[in-house]
Amino acid sequence: MNQQTISKEYANDLIFEMEKAFWDERGKGARFRLTTVGREFFKTKCLSRLHSVEIDDIVRTIETVLRENGIAVRMSAEIDGKLLRVRIEGCAHRPVEDRMVAHETKPFTCVPANLIVLAMDEKLNRPAELAEIKLEEGACQVLIVLFDKRPV
């Protein structure tokens, strides 16, 4: 098998085209269909490294995995009740979001946020939902809503 990797630019071009096509087809409904994008990456790279049930520790573990895999440079989180605000700096997929905005479409999916949502569900038995993505200079600010723990 050829071990040559593809460029991030090529991968982001494909991601943008698929994301845009999905948006054109489904509109705002597309965001609810892309919530599990990153599930295989989560299972293979993140899940076995999640040992704590503290939200801060979970976010730090996801950050470490993203940094090790060249996907994001830094993440920080702030918890306010049921709201989790996460700042993601240096994300490899930011060019996709910038292109979506250039095509007058608000960003509606975020793989790093999806990984956090998947972790909340898996480790804490708490459903979570990506509510908002704001693009800032050099970073994305995502808002994740944490719901109550599911009954056992």
Q: What is the pLDDT of residues 7-63, one digit of tens each?
A: 999 999 999 999 999 999 999 889 888 988 999 999 999 999 999 999 999 999 999
Predicted TM-score (pTM) of the model is 0.92
What does R_g of the chain's alpha carbons equal in angstroms? Answer: 15
Residue 2 pLDDT level (bands cut at 50, 70, 90): low
pLDDT at position 120: 97
Cα separation of 128 and 62, whole Å?
Answer: 16
- Burial code (b: 16+ CB inside 10 Å, e: under 16) for 48-59 equals eebeeeebeebb
Residue 128 is which amino acid?
Answer: A
Q: Domains of the chain by range and CATH?
A: 8-146 (3.30.1380.20)
- The helix/strand/coil state of 36 is coil
Position 4 confidence tier, pLDDT thresholds 50, 70, 90: confident
pLDDT digits (tens, 9 = 90+) for 112-137: 999 999 999 999 999 999 999 999 99
Calculate the alpha carbon distances from 120 to 27, 58, 59, 69, 99 in Å.
27, 8, 10, 21, 29
Q: Which two tokens stand for residue 106?
A: 């608000």
Is the Cβ–Cβ distance between 71 and 112 less than 8 Å? yes
